[in-house]
Chains A and B, each alone.
Chain A
Amino acid sequence: MAAILMIDDDPDFILAVQMVLENAGYTFFSASNGEQGYQAVKEHNPDLVILDVMMDTATAGFQLALKLRGPDAEESLKKIPILMFSAIHETTPLRFEPDEEFLPVDDFLEKPVVPDTLLEKVEFLLERSG
């Protein structure tokens, strides 16, 4: 089954998502900040990455997404679908629809975790990327 990497600084969220995904049969890895996350992507080569929009800094998630998808990113990384946890009223310079230029992610998810919605979106993105 597919491997999913989650990068989030909140261990409770990681636990929640882990339980949902492992219960559905996915392999789950996690990292708690942008640096570790980037290394983990290179190391585990996941089929999907789940990112939190804000981590240790207000733009950590955004920056990691750019690193994975931006103009300077490696080609192999660009293919991995990214699902981002967001929240309304974020004070980061983001829009709320994925947009090639502004925010290179494939879809959004709101906290707290709704298990069904999470699984739906994960399945959809994995199917789309083949």
Chain B
Amino acid sequence: MDWKPRSGLQYRAMNVAATNKRLIQVRWGIGGLILGGTLILTFFFSLPLPPTPLLLLGSIILIYNIFFYVISCRSVDCESKMEKTQRLIILQVLLDWVAMAFFLHFTGGITSPATPIFLIHLLVITILLPDSSPVLYLALVIGVVVLIAALEGWEIWEHYTVIPALACDVYKDPVYVLGQIVFFSTAAGVMVMLASAIMKRLRIHERQLEGLLITSQTVSSTLKLPEVLEHLVVSAARALNVSSASIRLLDATGENLRMEADTGLSDTYRSKGPVQVSRSLIDREALSGHIVLIHNAADDDRFQYKDQILAEGIKSVLVAPISGRAGVLGVLRVYSRKEARFGEDEVDYVQAIAAQGGIAIENAMTHAALQEEEEARSTFIHTVTHELRSPVAGAQSLVRILDAGLAGPIAEKQQSILQRVSRRLDFLQELINDLLTLASSSTHFQHKPEPTALEPMLQMVLDDFRPLAAEKAINLEANGIKPDWSVWAGEDSLKIIFTNLIGNAVKYTQEGGLIRLEASADETSVSVKVSDSGIGIPEEDLVNLWKDFYRASNARTSGIQGTGLGLSIVKRLIENLEGQIRVQSKEGEGTTFTVTLRRV
């Protein structure tokens, strides 16, 4: 099963869904508490609560909670419903607020011991809905308390005296009422401010972590250096919520920092040329391992290109070193058009990003270096073997001339020696051709795979080998190859693969033996089996079979000529095509190679 890391949006959606669920769950309790509490307090403790309105209120709360429960998404995948759920939450909050207002009224208005419940509700809202302005809720809550006090005080609304010990007119006493309101409002205000500030910090950290997660994912999703740098610089800018950032890497001399990736910077700024380490104090400091914070670029003289920075409108800059395992690679710069935009939090965060970036950049560079090495090696083999061709071919031609008697009669002894020379030269030529094929089979030289019809190519190779097979009285069969099958294959690679496999089968099968080709296919792939009744491959040789120049022990002692490169070439070509090859064999009985290729 593929695990995919969650995006920030997915986490947010999960949180919204969880919030909604929690609100509904708590409301069951509250509704129940109101109903139960009313019954107990009224009938057991005989408090003068108005039972009917309260029971009604409790029931209504439970009813609208049922409605919300039913409407809410309860499936595992609620991400797509995030907006709807958010609207639902707001609706619930409003209804709760109305319900609480009535609850307050029915439990004594300004004298109600339940006023602190409003505070709880306010706190919950501030925490759960951080994107909205808490001041609005604060105003609503204070407003409703004041409204209730006013309506009851001026006798527009009936007052319920719930605590018998309290003087029955206290709700009209201005000192009492004012006192309650002032303390309540102060408590509410302070609480909202604190909670809000804490939530804000939490959200910033959450965003930063999310940013780090995304950076980590995108940066490790590719080994191509330009892409890694691009992802890094965009992530940094986005996570810090600034418009521009840049990455500069040290060049080979270690004297210049060249701009390798940037975002949000104008072309004029970008074209200003490499930063010379000797002339930029800022970058020297950063390269020595320290983060450099500039709050106002105008006041700072450590830049090499100060004018261009000011022209770009940049005020704050944060410069962090990017280090790999082997040393400093370059610098990451984040820019803002506001003064003093960056502080401790941002420093921490950029350091985290730069650390990740360093590792990713080093990996990409190593990968690129490896590929270059592989290409250089291939080119070398290619060039060398090419040079070997002419001399060998020339020598062979002349030996054949001699052997054919074209330069005069040749004695038998001389002819037998000439034939030995010729055989060695033949082998040399085969080796050269195989080496060239091997060198050409690296991805650098390969053509892009194209849809290739399988059947005609297999027939062609079989036809090539029929004369040789007939000489050895070997039965060559082919079954089940449908003419309409097409596979992804590069120019000539299929021919080389099957020429090698079928050629080996013919080479290593005794007189009177059997070679069979069978093919099968499913929706995504085609498999071709080449089986022979030949000398087989000893079990201990199977694991090394694909190595360059490897020949199985029985092949080496058989007197049959071979370079040991054939299977190595075949394996590389098949791997280039994203296919597979497997071998099964029993010494003395025969061998089966199964080639699986991607179907078109």
Chain A residues close to B by CB (< 8 Å): 10, 12-13, 15-17, 19-20, 23, 87-89, 91, 111-115
Contact = CB atoms under 8 A, between A and B. Distances in A.
B401 A20 contact: yes
Classify the secondary structure of B's interface with A.
helix
A111 B396 CA distance: 9
Given A87-B393, A112-B396, 15 more contacts: A12-B395, A12-B397, A13-B393, A16-B394, A16-B398, A17-B397, A19-B401, A20-B406, A87-B389, A89-B440, A112-B425, A112-B429, A113-B400, A115-B401, A115-B404
29 contacts: A10-B390, A12-B397, A12-B398, A15-B398, A15-B401, A16-B397, A16-B398, A19-B401, A19-B406, A19-B407, A20-B401, A20-B404, A20-B406, A23-B406, A87-B393, A88-B433, A88-B436, A89-B386, A89-B437, A91-B382, A91-B386, A111-B394, A111-B397, A112-B392, A112-B393, A112-B394, A112-B400, A112-B429, A115-B400
Contacts of A115: 400-401, 404, 406
Contacts of B433: 88-89
Contacts of B396: 112-113
Given A19-B406, A87-B389, A12 B394 contact: yes
A112 B394 CA distance: 6
Interface residues of B, number: 22
B409 to A, nearest CB: 13
Contacts of A91: 382, 386
A66 B440 CA distance: 28
A71 B73 CA distance: 77
Contacts of B382: 91
B170 to A, nearest CB: 104
Given A87-B389, A112-B400, A115-B401, A10 B407 contact: no
Q: What are the 3 A-B residue pairs with the smallest beta carbon separation, nearest first?
A: A12-B394, A16-B397, A112-B396
Contacts of B398: 12, 15-16
Contacts of B401: 15-16, 19-20, 113, 115
Interface string B159-171: 0000000000000
Given A20-B406, A115-B404, A13 B436 contact: no
A114 B400 CA distance: 7
A75 to B, nearest CB: 34
Interface string B415-437: 00000000001000100010011
Contacts of A15: 398, 401
A15 B433 CA distance: 24
A113 B397 contact: yes
B290 to A, nearest CB: 53
Nearest to A96: B492
B394 A13 contact: yes
A20 B400 CA distance: 10
A88 B436 CA distance: 9
Contacts of B407: 19
B394 A10 contact: yes
B400 A16 contact: yes
A23 B437 CA distance: 36
B257 to A, nearest CB: 40
Contacts of B386: 89, 91
Contacts of A19: 401, 406-407
Contacts of A12: 394-395, 397-398
B391 to A, nearest CB: 8
A13 B393 CA distance: 8
Contacts of B404: 20, 115
A96 to B, nearest CB: 10
A23 B400 CA distance: 14
A49 B425 CA distance: 28
A89 B400 contact: no
Contacts of A10: 390, 394
A53 to B, nearest CB: 12
Given A20-B406, A115-B404, A89 B397 contact: no
A91 to B, nearest CB: 8
A89 B429 contact: no
Nearest to A87: B389
A12 B436 CA distance: 23
Contacts of B436: 88-89
Contacts of B397: 12-13, 16-17, 111-113
A13 B406 CA distance: 14
Nearest to A17: B397
Interface in B39-68: none
Contacts of B395: 12
A114 B389 CA distance: 16
A91 B436 CA distance: 11
A19 B433 CA distance: 27
A113 B397 CA distance: 5
A93 to B, nearest CB: 14
Contacts of A16: 394, 397-398, 400-401
Most buried by A among B396, B401, B436: B401
Contacts of A89: 386, 433, 436-437, 440
A89 B386 CA distance: 9
A86 to B, nearest CB: 11
A121 to B, nearest CB: 15
Interface in B279-306: none
Most buried by A among B394, B407, B425: B394
Contacts of B392: 112
